């Protein structure tokens, strides 16, 4: 029995470690490269010889990345909520890759806010996040599929552990659950054409998406527009308690080592046999993902520990 277990893990390890070759002939397009995961991945792949094309939202982000990388890396301005912007980028990439096609597409662009209690949201608050994190991913992927089919390439979609556990209100968790579902259906449909699809599920990391200052400023905006009766039901100190407890949790949970995520992305692009899902970070692997398999009352308890209760909380 011990020998069988050893053989199984040895086969898995060997399969996981086999890599493709010819990096210098492979093009990879990455969205959201101004900072964070996308920025580091672009630099990482550039150093390994890939022909990286990096989509950035701002001119400054594009200029800073270009200055930090080789002349081989190309930067483009891209707004993933604008189909015309995506079409323009696809045309540029088509000219760059020629008949080889596009080896890798990494859908990394994303936003977090508005997040907070669901009752504080309006419909447009959900739309702001879904347009970037889900509809943008779908639009970019659909427009790049013909180039990916030519190369029998890879699609790497950045979801989150919040695509398994809905820990907070707003559009973020909804969008990441959507990315999980879209990626699963895409993987099954495109496997017939040799395209492999991988999902990255990061835990909590220090990036622009998890910026406490950004989240707190938006929470104050949401609170300020609430009707007085809704504010009264939460209590005068609820916002301050929410910000304090969320900040405390984020400071403990968020890892500064974002290379744990970009290593997963790189593996999905370079492994002979990429994984379907990558849990990125120790918190994802050993806490959040296991928690997602437990009964809902357990995750409800965790959320209740991490966030305050409203003043008018109903008794059980």
Token output for 256 = 């500064």
Cα gap 130→108, rounded to integer Å: 14
The domain segmentation of the chain, as residue ranges, is 23-206+256-303
**Residue pLDDT, tens place only, 53-92:** 999 999 999 999 999 999 999 999 999 999 999 999 999 9
**Residue pLDDT, tens place only, 1-57:** 555 555 544 555 555 778 999 999 999 999 999 999 999 999 999 999 999 999 999
Please list, in sequence order, all residues whose beta carbon lies within 8 angstroms of the beta carbon of residue 73, skipping any fewer than 6 positions away: 42, 46, 51, 52, 53, 54, 65, 66
Cα gap 306→242, rounded to integer Å: 9
Q: Which CATH class is domain 23-206+256-303?
A: alpha beta
Identify the sign of the CA torsion 209, 123, 160, 101: negative
Is 234 annotated as catalytic? no
**CB of 263 within 8 A of CB of 187?**
no
The CB-side HSE value for 210 (13 A sphere, CA atoms) comes to 22
Of 6, 8, 18, 172, catalytic = 172
DSSP symbols for 76-88: EE--TT-HHHHHH
Kindly report the CA angle at 129 between 222 and 66, in degrees rounded to 5? Answer: 115
**Residue pLDDT, tens place only, 129-176:** 999 999 999 999 999 999 999 999 999 999 999 999 999 999 999 999
pLDDT at 119: 97
């Amino acid at each position: 029995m011990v020998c069988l277990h050893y053989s199984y893990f040895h086969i898995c390890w060997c399969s996981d470690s086999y890599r493709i070759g010819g990096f210098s002939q492979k093009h990879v397009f990455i969205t959201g490269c101004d900072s964070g995961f996308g920025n580091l991945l672009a630099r990482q792949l550039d150093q390994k010889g890939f022909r990286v094309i990096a989509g950035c939202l701002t001119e400054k982000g594009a200029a800073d990345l270009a200055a930090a990388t080789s002349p081989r890396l190309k930067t483009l301005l891209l707004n993933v909520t604008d189909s015309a912007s995506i079409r323009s980028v696809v045309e540029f990439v088509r000219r760059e890759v020629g008949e080889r096609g596009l080896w890798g597409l990494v859908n990394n662009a994303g936003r977090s806010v508005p997040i907070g209690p669901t009752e504080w949201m309006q419909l447009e608050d959900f739309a702001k996040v879904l347009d970037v994190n889900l509809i943008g991913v779908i639009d970019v992927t659909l427009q790049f599929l013909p180039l990916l089919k030519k190369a029998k390439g890879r699609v790497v979609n950045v979801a989150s552990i919040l695509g398994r556990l809905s820990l907070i209100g707003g559009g973020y968790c909804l969008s990441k659950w959507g990315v999980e579902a879209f990626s699963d259906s895409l993987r099954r449909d495109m496997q017939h054409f040799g395209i492999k699809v991988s999902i990255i599920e990061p835990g909590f990391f220090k990036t622009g998406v998890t910026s406490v200052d950004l989240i707190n400023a938006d929470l104050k905006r949401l609170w300020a527009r609430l009707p007085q009766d809704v504010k009264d039901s939460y209590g005068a100190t609820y916002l301050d308690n929410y910000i304090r407890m969320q900040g405390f949790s984020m400071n403990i949970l968020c890892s500064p080592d974002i290379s744990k995520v970009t290593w997963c992305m790189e593996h999905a692009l370079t492994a002979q046999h990429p994984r379907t899902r990558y849990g990125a970070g120790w918190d994802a692997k050993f806490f959040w993902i296991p928690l997602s398999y437990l009964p809902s009352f357990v995750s409800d308890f965790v959320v209740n520990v991490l966030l305050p209760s409203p003043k008018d909380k109903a008794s059980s």
